[in-house]
Amino acid sequence: MSTGSTTAGLRQELLIGKREFDSYFADRPLRPIKAGDVLTPGDDATELLHVPVYRLRSGWACQFRHLKNGRRSILDVYLPGNVIGLDAALHTRPIENVLALTSVAFDSTNARGGLYGLLAHRQTALYVAWLLGQRQRRADRLLMAISALDARGRVAMMIYDFYKRLRVQRPAYSQSYNLPLTQSHIGSYLGLTVVHVNRVLRILRDEQIATIEKHCVTILNLDKLVKVAQHNELDRQAAAAGDMPPYQTEATFAAN
């Protein structure tokens, strides 16, 4: 069997799994929370069958951890369509400290609501495994950037990464987008101080690569941004580790 037919077959199974996965959210009401609020699971969420699984329908959110030195580390940033809490439902990582960066709307269910039953289906289990892999891919990419890139490269990586994630949802997306992260958030995400973030943003602006003004990102030179972010190298390393083809991103399957 050729690589092309194998990839096409896998994509078809993922699409079937996505439809089955979405089905158990079908009748769930949308729940809004405002910017700055923390998404709080119910009191029974400590029980395995009651661990919630959220699907972000609109807005941006992030997951963070407080460190003993008083600083806060942002572990992941969620965009519309992302699923939050699958790893908690499988008891591989707790769901905690999910902060709404903007006003958000989400629907939710739990293991008792059908997740475990759906995992008995091959295509749904494959889709859930793929969603968890996408989360891990984001974490790996962030770790590579923090460990291998200087501050200028990290900020460039972040700008380009969000651009790519948004562009998959809307292929005609322009090179400007709203970024609801403060400089403090960016520092917590990239392991930088606010002073350092401010300095790097000035450098990228002066080099005519990208600007961030009043939460609006404008990419002035995409080729230079990719070069500074070393994104081609990060993609190459991800592909060597067995990553899926580039068009198969989470938003491709999560978009309604």
Per-residue pLDDT reduced to its tens digit, 95-131: 778 999 999 999 887 655 556 777 788 898 899 899 9
Quick check: helix, strand or coil at residue 69?
A: coil
Q: Where are the beta strands (DSSP E) in 11-154?
A: 31-33, 38-39, 52-58, 61-66, 72-78, 83-84, 98-100, 104-110
In the CATH hierarchy, which top-level class contains the domain 150-229?
mainly alpha
Q: Quick one: which of 31, 243, 60 has its CA closest to 137?
A: 243
> At residue 41, does pLDDT exceed 50?
yes
Q: Where are the beta strands (DSSP E) in 136-203?
A: 176-178
Mean predicted confidence (pLDDT) in 8-36 = 87
Measured in whole angstroms, how far is the alpha carbon of residue 43 from the centre of its chain?
A: 26
CA-CA-CA-CA torsion for 61, 66, 71, 73, nearest 10 degrees?
-40
Question: Each residue of 74-93: pLDDT tens digit?
Answer: 999 999 989 998 877 776 66
The domain 1-144+246-256 having CATH identifier 2.60.120.10: the answer here is yes
Q: Do domains 1-144+246-256 and 150-229 have the same CATH topology?
A: no
| Domain range list for the chain | 1-144+246-256, 150-229
Lowest mean pLDDT among 18-32, 121-135, 213-227, 241-255: 241-255
- Whether residue 149 contacts residue 65, with contact meaning beta carbons closer than 8 Å, is answered with no
pLDDT value of position 43: 40
